[in-house]
Amino acid sequence: MHFYTAMLVKVIDGDSVTLQVNLGFNVLITTTFQLAGLDAPEIIGANARDAKLVKKELAEWLKTADRITVQPTGGTTGSGRWYARIDVCDEEGKGFCVNDELLSRGLAAVSVKS
């Protein structure tokens, strides 16, 4: 698997983000990712309030990160989003995987789709 540095473009919901990804050699692409292995509450519906809180937490982690790293896990969703694991680090190199953090905090459920 490959790892790529990225910059946040947009947080769509609690498990989907758009990132500008550096593929190397000055090649940048902007694409949308689905966080692999999890399912966050949907923005529309009975869990909308929870969904907004999860989205806010994810946005805070990504906006304040000194470095974002994306690791595509293979495959895409039906809507064309790439499944991926996303790590964030601060300027001291301390960081975490946002996929794992959402699951460990109970902000998302395990998904076997990805």
pLDDT at 3 exceeding the cut of 70 = yes
Q: How far apart (Å, rounded) are the C-alpha atoms in residues 64 and 67?
A: 9
What percent of the chain has a predicted confidence (pLDDT) above 90?
Answer: 82
- Tallying the residues shown for the chain, one arrives at 114
In angstroms, rounded to a whole number, what is the distance separating the alpha carbons of residues 88 and 62?
A: 7
User: What pLDDT is recorded for position 48?
Assistant: 82
Q: Each residue of 21-69: pLDDT tens digit? A: 999 999 999 999 999 999 998 888 777 888 899 999 999 999 999 999 9
Q: What is the pLDDT of residues 60-94, one digit of tens each?
A: 999 999 999 999 998 999 999 999 999 999 989 89
- Residue-range domains of the chain with CATH: 4-108 (2.40.50.90)
What's the confidence (pLDDT) of residue 66? 96
d(CA 77, CA 90): 30
